[in-house]
Amino acid sequence: MDKNTVLAFLVIALILMGMPYYYEMIGLAPPPPQKEDQEAGFEPVKVPSRSSSFPAPANTPVQRGGFAKRFDEDGVVKSLSEEKIVYVETPLYVAGVSSRGGGSLVSFILKNYPLNDSSLVDLVVKEINQGNLLIKFKDFSGESVTLDNVWELSGRHVHKDTISISSEARSLDFFSTINGQIINKTFTFNPKGYTIGLEMDLQSIGSMMVSQERFTLIWRGGIPSTEPNKSDEASFYAANLSQGREITKHNGKDGNVVSSTGRTDWAAVRSKYFTAAIIPTSRSNYGEVSARTGSPSMSNGNEKAPFYDMAVGFSSAGPASAIVFLGPLQFNDIKSLDVGLENSMSFGIAPIRGIGRGVLFLLKVFHGVIPNYGVVLIIFSV
């Protein structure tokens, strides 16, 4: 064997050994999922069944008050109803859905993704995500109005009720009355994925209350921190806006807003391993991502990274719909949405993106045979 052959094998070996570290660096490998056969000493966190109730978040506020045409100082509509939280359990997650705002997520626990302390990843935490998936608009006086009142939930659901979904999609229907007019909001949960269908109907108040008949669906606080190394994790936090398949990335500066009118493909925020995205399925007219800094005392936040908010606009002149994706940055799952959301994932600098995609493909093939990313990475580096 000549020197050139030996050198070639050496270079190949170095590349193979370095690829797992590169893969980890660009954030494509999710944290190892929970094994079917638990390791000794790992006590799985119990998730609710149909006959059990999931513990409600501590200090969940209950808003009461008069419902009138005038709003409070923050433009928040008041309600006479009492807040209900219903838990939706699928094979992949347990979602806590509040009747406030016609369905606002108060928790979103991923069953297959444990943290270092053996608890499960929760992608919605009160301290940074409170008030997500609310509807916001401006009235004819130019004041901002947030529909943060408690809505009614159709069906015989009680507070802390749990709905188990294993094979077929199920829906939660919310409605509220404003000045005698009924508005609706419906969530549809998919047991086979991390997408939630959302339908909104504000036609009854569109011409009466909504300026230019435009409203936005908002997400607050981005994605909670899940990694012990905050500095490394902070480098992966990002917010992106896609319009016409062109992606605009937020620069992460506090107070900066990236926004544009026109049809929006999606708005998304991400951490190292997880993402939240609003994907319109009816015609949209606006998109926005913005950043704000948090305080170190904010639980489950990464003070080294900004908190990202996002919003997508719709017309109130007709029914509006969207898909909310909330889950892991799994390339195939995101690509299957067919909206270009996978382009928000980083594969490194331009000269090595092809290598990154190739490595991802090979690792997926290996993982299809060996359902453990740790073992796959070890084999891949040999």
Q: What is the pLDDT along the chain (382 residues), one digit of tens a residue?
A: 667 776 666 767 676 666 665 555 555 555 545 444 443 333 333 444 333 333 433 333 333 232 333 344 444 555 557 899 999 999 999 999 999 999 999 999 999 999 988 899 999 998 899 999 999 999 999 999 999 999 999 988 889 899 999 999 999 999 999 989 999 999 999 999 999 999 999 999 999 999 999 999 999 999 999 999 999 999 999 999 999 999 999 999 999 999 999 999 999 999 999 999 999 999 999 999 999 986 655 666 788 889 999 999 999 999 999 999 999 999 889 999 999 999 887 655 545 555 555 665 665 666 566 666 556 556 655 5
What is the reported pLDDT for 112? 95
What is the reported pLDDT for 287? 98
Instruction: Give the number of other CB atoms < 10 A from CB of residue 81.
Output: 17
What is the reported pLDDT for 79? 54
- Exposure string for 305-326, b = 16+ CB within 10 A, e = fewer: bbbbbbbbbbbbeeebbbbbbb
Both tokens of 371, joined, read 């359902």
Nearest CA-CA partner of 237 in 288, 291, 295, 279: 291
> Given the DSSP bridges, would you call strands 307-315 and 284-292 parallel, antiparallel or unpaired?
antiparallel
* Cα(334)–Cα(344) distance, integer angstroms: 10
Q: Please, what are the domains in the chain?
A: 3-26+347-381 (no CATH), 85-344 (2.70.98.90)
Residue 14 corresponds to which amino acid?
L
Secondary structure of the chain in the HEC alphabet?
Answer: CCHHHHHHHHHHHHHHHHHHHHHHHCCCCCCCCCCCCCCCCCCCCCCCCCCCCCCCCCCCCCCCCCCCCCCCCCCECCCCCCCCEEEEECCCEEEEEECECCCEEEEEEEEEEECCCCCEEECCCHHHHCCCCEEEEECCCCCEEECCCECEECCCCCCCCEEECCCCCEEEEEEEEECCEEEEEEEEECCCCCEEEEEEECHHHHHHHCHHHEEEEEECCCCCCCCCCHHHHHCCCEEEEEECCEEEECCCCCCCEEEEECCCCEEEEECCCEEEEEEECCCEEEEEEEEECCCCCCCCCCCCCCEEEEEEEEECCCCEEEEEEEEECCHHHHHCCCCCHHHHCCCCCHHHHHHHHHHHHHHHHHHHHCCCHHHHHHHHHC
What is the reported pLDDT for 352? 52
* Residues 375 and 38 sit within 8 Å (Cβ to Cβ): no
* Residues 333 and 193 sit within 8 Å (Cβ to Cβ): yes
What is the reported pLDDT for 379? 65
- Tell me, rounded to whole angstroms, the distance of Cα 362 from its chain centroid: 27
- Exposure string for 345-356, b = 16+ CB within 10 A, e = fewer: bbbbeeeeeeeb
pTM over 0.85: no
